[in-house]
Amino acid sequence: MDKKLFAQLVESMEQMGEISRGERAPSREFHVDAVEVRSIRQATGLSQSKFAKALDVNVGTLRNWEQGLREPTGPARALLRAIKNDPKHVLKALIEPASPDMPAVKRAGTKSAGRAPRPRDRAA
C-alpha cells in the first residue's frame, strides 16, 4: 500500500476516534430523525401504507424510519425534504397517474403498461 494513502487512512481513523469521544466536531452531519419523518407523513394526511406507496418504499421501511431504527438515505432523504418543503406539489407529482404523453416505465416484476403513442401514431 502506498505510504501516503496509509498515512491518510491512519489520520482518518484518529479523527474518527476523536469524534466518537467528543473531542472533535464532525465536518458534516445529515440526519432526518424519526420524529421528523413521522411529522412529514402526518402533515400530508396519508396513512403509512399510502405514504410508503407514494415514496415507492416498503411500509416496513417507513415504519423503521418513523421508529428511529433506520434513517432514510440518498433519494429517499431528498424526497422527504421535497415533501416537507412543498407537500402539495410533490405528492401530486408522485401520486397522480402520468399523463398520456409520458412513456410508460416497466418496473421489474410487473407486466408492461404498454408504450406511449409516438407522435406519428396519433391522429392529426
Cell of 46: 396519508
What's at 94, amino acid-wise?
Answer: L
116 has pLDDT over 60: no
Domains of the chain by start residue, with CATH? 30-97 (1.10.260.40)
Global pTM value: 0.55
Structural contact between residues 16 and 56, judged by C-beta atoms closer than 8 angstroms: no
108 has pLDDT over 60: no
Give the total residue count for the chain: 124
Give the range with max mean pLDDT: 13-22, 89-98, 109-118. Answer: 13-22
Closest CA to 44 of 87, 12, 6: 87
40 CB-near residues (< 8 Å, 6+ apart): 80, 83, 84, 87
Q: Which tens digit of pLDDT belongs to each residue from 13-54?
A: 898 888 889 898 877 665 667 779 999 999 999 999 999 999
Least confident of 17-21, 80-84, 113-117: 113-117
Q: What is the pLDDT of residue 110?
A: 45
H helices present in the chain, as ranges: 3-20, 34-44, 48-55, 59-66, 74-85, 87-95
Distance CA 30, CA 89 (A): 24
Per DSSP, 21 falls in state T
